[in-house]
Structure 1
Amino acid sequence: MNSYPPIVLASSSPRRQELLKNLGLPFTIQVSDIDETVSPDLKPEEIVQTLSFQKAEVITRNLSFGLVIGSDTIVVLDGQVLGKPTDEQDAYRMLRALSGRMHQVFTGIAIIDVASGKAEVSYSSTYVTMEAMTDETIYSYIASGEPMDKAGSYAIQGLGATLVQKIEGDYFTVVGLPLHLLAHMLTRFGVSLLNR
């Protein structure tokens, strides 16, 4: 019934895997291990698009056909990129900086058709405002373990939701895979979720 090529998600993120599964698309997972070092001159939207493409591209080298989806998410506060924390102290530093402030989350998506070489890259951004957090709240959240592998040291789809005051934009961009953007990109590769 499916006339489109097999879909490969180039991500180890359980969040992205769950979101893609929710769309009802069959897919396999191949984790891309790339050097995520980028030029400090790149703008946030350029960073996520560059890394998304690199994550997808490295997987295409081992395939002869299929659609490979790569994605990358960063948190930006005052022009500074907050990546995944290196340790609990680093997580505290980020959460203290985000406390009571608005920041931006950028998520890039890249889709590459292995057989044709056709590629498309785009991104989505969303504003997130965190509540003012006491040190006690921050330490309790860090003790949960949730911040340790998350950009910006929080997960909006987990306990971190209790720290988020409001968002302006696409919730799924903050989780790590903007589904609206992805769906529209997929249609240009012949994958129609709702016969758009």
Structure 2
Amino acid sequence: MKNLILASSSPFRRVLLDRLGLPYRCISPGIDETPQPHETPEALVQRLALEKARAVARQVPQGLIIGSDQVAVLDGDIIGKPLTHETARCQLQRASGRSVQFLTGLCLLDARTGESQVEAVPFRVHFRTLSDRMIEHYLQREQPYQCAGSFKSEGLGIALFERLEGDDPNSLIGLPLIRLIRMLENAGVEVL
């Protein structure tokens, strides 16, 4: 088994990776996640996933490093983590009755060879029409202030949606496992 490292401090990504039953460890990459001028959302998540993996590869030169990053996009605007109650309320009001695209950048980097596999995995969320009361109750109960788009789909956030559209619902939580399994197998790691 190769030395598998998750370049993340996200507890949500750890829970997802645990599902594969592979031994791994986590190292926080500690990179600047500021978008570059005129950078598309797809380019941003791919760049950040690769930068996170490279940052950790400098610490573990024999590792197989998983990097991931996610953004929500509405009307071409990147919607990040709200951090505050007020921002989360505004994000959910804006998303009410509309569709939001989530893009998850995924990278698998072999630190020994420098070879990387990088993709941007899309997933679309169609929101129900949400009243201010529904939004307020949701935010009070779940407080999703560290989550892109202001919800936790693995929790009560599912009640905000009309429908979901995409290949892998794990993408919405931050780690597209179906694509990751393919990448791991390409790198010689047998998941099954």
Partner of 2:46: 49
Which one of the candidate residues 19, 22, 25 is aligned to 1:22? Answer: 19
What percent of counterpart residues are identical?
A: 39
Aligned residue-pair number: 191
Task: Quote the offset at 1:64 in angstroms.
Answer: 2.6
Partner of 1:191: 189
| TM-score for both structures, normalised by structure 1 | 0.94
Q: CA offsets, 1:93-130, max 9 Å, x none?
A: 10000111111010011111111111111121011101
Task: Could you list the structure 1 runs, at least 4 aligned residues long, displaced by more than 4 angstroms after superposition.
Answer: none
Are positions 1:8 and 2:12 aligned together?
Answer: no
Task: Quote the offset at 1:145 in angstroms.
Answer: 4.1
Does the CA-based 8 Å contact 1:146-1:159 persist in structure 2? no
Task: Show structure 1 runs of 5+ residues with no match.
Answer: none
Secondary structure in 2 matching 1:108: strand
AA aligned to 1:115 is R
Task: Quote the offset at 1:63 in angstroms.
Answer: 1.5
Task: Quote the offset at 1:166 in angstroms.
Answer: 0.5
Task: Show structure 2 runs of 5+ residues with no match.
Answer: none
Are positions 1:31 and 2:17 aligned together?
Answer: no
CA distance in 2, matches of 1:159, 1:183: 27
Are positions 1:68 and 2:71 aligned together?
Answer: no
CA distance in 1, matches of 2:143, 2:174: 15
CA distance in 1, matches of 2:190, 2:122: 24
RMSD, aligned α-carbons: 1.1
| TM-score for both structures, normalised by structure 2 | 0.96
CA distance in 1, matches of 2:59, 2:145: 31
Kindly report which structure 2 residues correspond to 1:1-196, keeping only aligned pairs within 5 A, or say none. Answer: 2=1, 5-169=2-166, 170-194=168-192
CA distance in 2, matches of 1:177, 1:10: 12
AA aligned to 1:135 is D
Does the CA-based 8 Å contact 2:142-2:156 persist in structure 1? no
CA distance in 1, matches of 2:110, 2:181: 15
CA distance in 2, matches of 1:128, 1:145: 18
Task: Quote the offset at 1:14 in angstroms.
Answer: 1.3
Does the CA-based 8 Å contact 2:85-2:143 persist in structure 1? no
Q: CA offsets, 1:2-52, max 9 Å, x none?
A: 3xx210001111111111110111100101111101214122111110110
Task: Quote the offset at 1:175 in angstroms.
Answer: 1.2
